[in-house]
Amino acid sequence: MARIRDEQKVELIYQAALELVLKQGFSGLKMADVAVHAGLATGTVYIYFKDKETLIHQLYNHLKKKCVEMYAEGLEGEDSFRKLVRRLWKQFFNFCIEHSAEVAFLEQYHRSPYLKSQNKKDSNYLYGPFLDMFSRGLQEKRLIKADKEIILALLVGPVHEMIRLHRDGTLKITPSVIDSTFEHVWECVKR
Amino acid sequence: MARIRDEQKVELIYQAALELVLKQGFSGLKMADVAVHAGLATGTVYIYFKDKETLIHQLYNHLKKKCVEMYAEGLEGEDSFRKLVRRLWKQFFNFCIEHSAEVAFLEQYHRSPYLKSQNKKDSNYLYGPFLDMFSRGLQEKRLIKADKEIILALLVGPVHEMIRLHRDGTLKITPSVIDSTFEHVWECVKR
DNA sequence: TTTTTTAATGAATATTTATTCATTAACTTG
DNA sequence: CAAGTTAATGAATAAATATTCATTAAAAAA
């Protein structure tokens, strides 16, 4: 059988595991399934990952690195604070739609017992760019007087909820829906 | 060993399963654990439930019944539409805090492959009271012109996000936090 | 090309977990 | 209270899944 480069194989395994965790959850993840989905033999997975638990932890760290700031790029040119928020929020929304598998995995991981060893605060790493932005907004008095976490909830809570409705087929998300929703969320966090 | 009434035992099993599903997910739920947590022998669980899958489905149906409109009681006396929304929203918020286990279970179930057989739209049953209320609000032009689902997302999205932050220990939720947050979410859905 | 090294394979084994069922304990009835 | 009935028990068995490893195939070195 043709050899493939190692990093590629690790990537195949990650991809397979990601898909399967979404369908079945962590405990429902079967190593044999991962192998089949990745186009490999069962034993091969064990060449790249010590065991199932390690695979899950490494996949988490992999996705964490991959996702952080993936949505937070290209914000330099924005002048007005409102436009900056709008830009970041829309990029986050689109990121969540395009990478819903990754987002769902991270959410599951944070709720699962796998996290307990690591730092609980870890669960906010994804929102770093938002929190940084809020610091500026609060200083410049462009945002309501409230904890950063509340502002975060007001901005991203609706995004997650809409994505859930989207997944169910209850709500169709289009660029214009995204635009008009931003106006609404901005209304409640702006000063 | 002392006999207990059947409904009580079923309730014990539900309680145990609920706790365990939260910790480990559906596939991670072990029948032996359920039994121990419920203070019963393994075999006893099988007297009340055909198998693990049945237990999970029945627990879902049980919680669905239990939760629906649990938070939507005592709304009759409210005169103004704003106060009605405020009342329902606050009751929902408190419900989510007090019954976070149930809410989390329902969310997990909806995302899991267990749902697929049943109707997908099922996932909105919890929000029935909100959607009904929105019908009135839209008719009376007290709400922004938007799909009910978007209004729902703007109202309950932040609640779920805040509860997540609360669980992490990142945000402390007090009655006054709830009150002031309502003012913010109302700001973005009111007309 | 031949030899050596490295990686992949998947059937076999170990482990975990679901489920059953012969036995025992608790209730019920006469 | 004795006989009969129903429920509970948990060790034994079945089924599912993780993990290993002797074998084979591919790549690298000689």
Answer whether A35's CB lies under 8 Å from A41's CB: yes
**Which of residues A1 and A82 earns the better pLDDT score?**
A82
Longest CA span, chain B: 63
Strands (E), B55-171: none
Q: How far is CA B181 from CA B94, B173, B185, in A?
A: 13, 10, 6
A149, B169: Cβ pair inside 8 Å? Answer: no
Q: Give the per-residue pLDDT at B122.
A: 77
Burial of B58: CB neighbours in 10 Å, binned 0-12, 13-18, 19+? middle
Nearest residue: Cα versus C1' of D20: A43
List, for residues B131-178, the tens digit of each pLDDT value. 999 999 999 999 999 999 999 999 999 999 999 999 988 999 999 999
Give the residue from B125, B128, B133 showing the smallest Cα distance to B189.
Answer: B133
Question: What residues of chain B lie within 8 A of the CB of A110, using their CB?
Answer: 168
Question: What residues of chain A lie within 8 A of the CB of B28, using their CB?
Answer: 25-28
DSSP structure string for A62-121: HHHHHHTTTSS-S-TT--SHHHHHHHHHHHHHHHHHHTHHHHHHHHHHHHSTTGGGS-GG
Q: Distance between CA B19 and CA B11 in Å, rounded?
A: 12
Q: Which nucleotides of D are covered by protein (CB under 7 A)?
A: 7-12, 17-22, 25-27
The reply to whether the predicted model has a pTM over 0.85 is yes
Q: Give the per-residue pLDDT at A2.
A: 36
Please check the confidence at residue A45 and state whether its pLDDT lies above 70: yes
Give the count of alpha carbons within 13 A of B116, CB side only: 5
Q: Give the per-residue pLDDT at B2.
A: 38
B121, A168: Cβ pair inside 8 Å? Answer: yes
Answer whether B167's CB lies under 8 Å from B100's CB: yes
Q: Give the per-residue pLDDT at A68.
A: 81
Give the residue from B181, B191, B69, B65 showing the smallest Cα distance to B130.
Answer: B69
The DSSP secondary-structure symbol of B49 reads: -
The rounded mean pLDDT for chain B is 92
Answer whether A116's CB lies under 8 Å from A57's CB: no
Answer whether B109's CB lies under 8 Å from B57's CB: no
Q: Give the per-residue pLDDT at A139.
A: 97
Q: Give the per-residue pLDDT at B119.
A: 65
Q: Give the per-residue pLDDT at B125.
A: 83
Nearest to A27 among B27, B110, B165 (CB): B27
Q: What is the CA radius of gyration of chain A?
A: 19
Q: Give the per-residue pLDDT at A182.
A: 98
Rounded to the nearest angstrom, the minimum Cα separation between A144 and chain B is 9
Distance C28 C1' – B10 CA (angstroms): 23
Q: Distance between CA B113 and CA A162 in Å, rounded?
A: 21
B27, A23: Cβ pair inside 8 Å? Answer: no
* Segments of chain B scoring below 70 in pLDDT: 1-5, 116-120
List, for residues A2-34, the tens digit of each pLDDT value. 345 578 999 999 999 999 999 899 999 999 999
Q: Mean pLDDT across the stretch A82-97? A: 97
Please check the confidence at residue A117 and state whether its pLDDT lies above 70: no
